Structure 1
Amino acid sequence: MRALKPVLAASTIALTLITPATVSAHSGATGIVKERMEGFKAAKRSMKNLKGAVRASDFNAIETEATSLNAWFSDLERYFPEGSNAKPSEALDIIWQDFDEFSAIAQQSRDASANLVNAAQSSNQPAAIDAFSDLGASCKACHDDYRE
């Protein structure tokens, strides 16, 4: 459980970075921006659920949430067509200026969520902790660089 505390703390920080803006940001969003915001809202819920599931070694819940996240991350770039950064979007212009780097971070999220699914399927708690930590780190990296 001791090894889990830093992972959960980092994930809590990542969730905190998501929360304030999502409360009011969805007002007025339409089209792909609304879809993107709703997808991230669902991802935030999954991360919150994963935090408890990893702590409890609930591998069924881990697999469910990680599978959902992996599906979201597998199609993530589609939700960022060029020109979709007008308000109320919180996406920064740097996404489209360095889309390859943005995609590389999205790939890290895909890899981490896939690793989390695999850890859950094999009931491997240490691997689940590592993958959850990696997933939180990739979320934070993207938010730090690409979101208002």
Structure 2
Amino acid sequence: MRLAMSTDNPITLPRRAVLAAGPSPVVDRCRRWLATDGEIDRLTERWALISGRRAEAAEAEAETATVEARLEELRCQQTQGLRDIADAEAQDMRDVVGKLAVVAAALRDDGGPLHDIVIEALAMLIKRGV
């Protein structure tokens, strides 16, 4: 089941779900992971924009190197954050929502039925006020 983009955007739903969840150590880890994921998305877009410029080759090359170095650092943080989240045992439904939000964000680029299943589950939990 594909969710309607106007009300349950599969890109923003995971972030909204975690923001709506109350504080807990697991949810805090999920928030940090999603923030890193968002920064990676923004820097990847910036990298694509810089790489597309040819006129200012030397300047673009230096900026591209800076962005690539930051992306590498963020990807390492994200990998460790994902391990930390996987190792943390969910204590309540807020933690479950947080973990599902991270899975939804991680599957976002691949899309497909697994992503759709997780997004649908998140939307249902949010609708029920979890």
Query: Normalising to structure 1: TM-score of the pair?
Result: 0.45
| In the alignment, structure 1 residue 26 sits paired with structure 2 residue 2 | no
Give secondary structure in 2 for the equivalent of 1:87: helix
Structure 1 pair 136–20 and aligned structure 2 pair: CA distance change class (3 A): closer
Gaps of 5+ in 2: 1-8, 52-63, 123-130
In the alignment, which residue of structure 2 is the partner of 1:83?
A: 90
Gaps of 5+ in 1: 1-15, 93-101, 103-108, 110-134
What is the distance in 1 between the residues matched to 2:44 and 2:98? Answer: 25
Structure 1 pair 91–146 and aligned structure 2 pair: CA distance change class (3 A): farther
Give secondary structure in 2 for the equivalent of 1:67: helix
Q: Which has the higher contact order (CA 8 A, sep 6+)?
A: 2
Which of 44, 66, 69 in structure 2 is aligned with 1:63? 69
Q: What letter is aligned with 2:109? A: A
Q: Is the helix fraction higher in 1 or 2?
A: 1
| In the alignment, structure 1 residue 46 sits paired with structure 2 residue 40 | yes
1:18 CA drift (Å): 3.2
Cα deviation code 1:76-108 (max 9, x no counterpart) = 12213333561262434xxxxxxxxx8xxxxxx
> Where has structure 1 moved over 6 Å in runs of 4 or more?
none
Structure number, greater radius of gyration: 2
1:46 CA drift (Å): 1.9
Query: Normalising to structure 2: TM-score of the pair?
Result: 0.50
Structure 1 pair 55–36 and aligned structure 2 pair: CA distance change class (3 A): same
